[in-house]
């Protein structure tokens, strides 16, 4: 019979208490994130806590922040799963430092500091810049659809809203008349002093549904009107004309509004499917593929997002890049003009890769110039780097971290969570690169 290593009795008590530093290797990601959080300025976050001593004491903010960042960096996003990991995982237990916050505490901490996550993301970008991982020589920009915390089956098109509104009005009118008729019968049968004036339960449900549909219909009309005004203003600006007087614009029959997350939009995703989603945007520095800007928009396409994402990258790093790479979704004449005026050498595709590019009008001189630039050998070689810079980062987010859907609802909350995801990925990337604090 073979011989085996001697093992101890699992129920045997230890003579000396174990040290948490013995539980994890020195190069573990948990230690790196603990040290990184110690370097961050969280003064604004601390100011949100009350100074008086009344009530239960709060959990240490740095501990909660390190716990949340490590959870996102290792693919754990639900607050209940994070709380369970504090009991089950050695790394989570080391970060929690003997504390055991429940899932409600974790969820409240995350939601209370969504705006702060963007400032912390900027600090991490600046730390990476000081460590030499961000050079802002070449920046690639791209967007990807991330599923919203909403079902597409909880949405309704504008023409369906009109139909359902009229249908419910008719049903409510009939039910109300039936209730009045029943009241008269009850008065005749039982006397006028007996109760018989309650509305049917079915009528209450229909009234609530009607109010919900009317509110969604109003939001959709206001949104489409605002989009029409913005489009008219942009067209007038490009043509050098005065903005025309705004006219009332109704939504198209197939325009939709979601009842669960009103800020999300129905967007095409891979496999010719459609989902309630947000369009997550990033700018990635070419040197070590660090994310230098992270924003979220509600449009299915990337149209008009080039300058805002580039502005965010420049603001976060206090440096403007030498080269900017982006695919055909970002091709907008006024954006190309803006970038050229700033002295940045941009390489933005004019058409889809592998497809013949149609003739560009003389009214778009910057687009024509970009077409000529990308036709050169140097232009093609520089633009070819875009895929290798930015697209792997989305692969890490969705495959390595497993982040495929937002946990929160509403544009502001989703933007905060996206900053947290990119912050966690950057710290994980810095740990891999061997950054020392």
What is the DSSP secondary-structure string of 294-342?
EEEES-SS-TT-HHHHHHHHHHHHT---SEEEE-GGG--HHHHHHHHHT
pLDDT at site 175: 64
Residues forming a β-bridge with 280: 144, 296
Q: Token pair for residue 366?
A: 């910057």
For residue 88, the tally of other CB atoms under 10 A from its CB is 9
Q: Which residues of the chain have pLDDT under 50?
A: 196-197
Rounded Cα distance, 91 and 101, in Å: 15
pLDDT of 336 reads 95
Looking up tokens 């994070």, which residue turns up? 82
Characterise 58 by phi-psi region: left (phi > 0), alpha (psi -120 to 50), beta (else). Answer: beta
The conformation of residue 434, written as its DSSP 8-state character, comes to T
> What six digits make up the tokens of 25?
């290797």
Q: How far apart are CA 59 and CA 55, in angstroms?
A: 13
pLDDT of residue 195: 54
Residue among 248, 259, 153 nearest 211 (CA)? 259
d(CA 258, CA 263): 8
| Spatial contact of 374 and 310, defined as CB atoms under 8 Å apart | no
Question: What tokens appear for 77 in the block?
Answer: 């996003």
Pair type for strands 323-326 and 345-348? parallel
Residue 205: what pLDDT? 66
**Residue 359, pLDDT score:** 74
Query: What pLDDT is attached to residue 148?
Result: 93
Classify residue 180 as exposed, middle or buried by CB count within 10 Å of its CB (0-12, 13-18, 19+).
Answer: exposed
- Tell me the β-bridge partners of 256: 157
Both tokens of residue 80? Answer: 């209940």
């Amino acid at each position: 019979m073979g011989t085996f290593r001697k093992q101890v009795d699992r129920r045997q008590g230890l003579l000396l208490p174990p040290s948490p530093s013995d539980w994890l290797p020195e190069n573990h990601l948990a230690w790196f994130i603990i040290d990184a959080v110690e370097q961050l300025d969280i003064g604004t976050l601390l100011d949100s806590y009350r100074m008086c001593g009344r009530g239960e004491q709060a959990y240490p903010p740095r501990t909660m922040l390190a716990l949340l960042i490590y959870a996102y960096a290792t693919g754990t996003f639900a607050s209940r799963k994070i709380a369970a990991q504090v009991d089950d995982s050695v790394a989570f237990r080391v970060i929690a430092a003997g504390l055991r916050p429940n899932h409600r505490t974790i969820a409240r901490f995350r939601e209370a500091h969504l705006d702060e996550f963007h400032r912390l993301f900027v600090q991490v970008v600046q730390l990476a810049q000081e460590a030499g991982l961000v050079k802002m020589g070449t920046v690639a920009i791209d967007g990807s659809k991330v599923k919203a915390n909403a079902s597409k089956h909880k949405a309704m098109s504008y023409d369906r809203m009109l139909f359902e509104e009229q249908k419910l009005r008719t049903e409510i009118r009939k039910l109300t008349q039936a209730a009045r008729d029943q009241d008269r019968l009850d008065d005749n049968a039982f006397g006028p002093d007996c109760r018989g004036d309650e509305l049917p339960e079915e009528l209450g449900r229909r009234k609530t549904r009607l109010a919900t549909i009317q509110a969604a219909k109003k939001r959709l009309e206001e949104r489409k009107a605002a989009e029409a005004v913005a489009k008219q203003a942009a067209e007038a600006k490009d043509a050098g004309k005065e903005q025309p007087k705004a006219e009332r614009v109704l939504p198209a029959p197939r325009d939709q509004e979601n009842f669960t997350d009103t800020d999300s939009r129905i967007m095409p995703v891979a496999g010719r499917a459609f989902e309630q989603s947000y369009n997550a945007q990033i700018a990635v520095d070419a040197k070590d593929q660090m994310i230098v800007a992270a924003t979220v928009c509600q449009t299915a396409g990337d149209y008009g997002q080039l300058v805002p994402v580039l502005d965010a990258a420049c603001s976060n790093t206090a440096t403007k890049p030498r080269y900017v790479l982006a695919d055909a979704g970002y091709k907008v004449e006024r954006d190309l003009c803006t970038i050229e005026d700033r002295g940045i050498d941009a390489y933005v595709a004019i058409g889809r890769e592998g497809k013949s590019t149609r003739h560009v009008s003389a009214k778009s001189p910057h687009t024509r110039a970009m077409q000529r630039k990308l036709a050169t050998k140097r232009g093609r070689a520089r633009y070819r780097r875009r895929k290798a810079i930015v697209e792997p980062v989305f692969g890490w987010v969705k495959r390595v971290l497993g982040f495929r859907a937002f946990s929160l609802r509403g544009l502001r909350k989703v933007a905060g969570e996206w900053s947290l995801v990119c912050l966690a990925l950057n710290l994980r990337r810095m740990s891999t690169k061997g950054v020392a604090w």
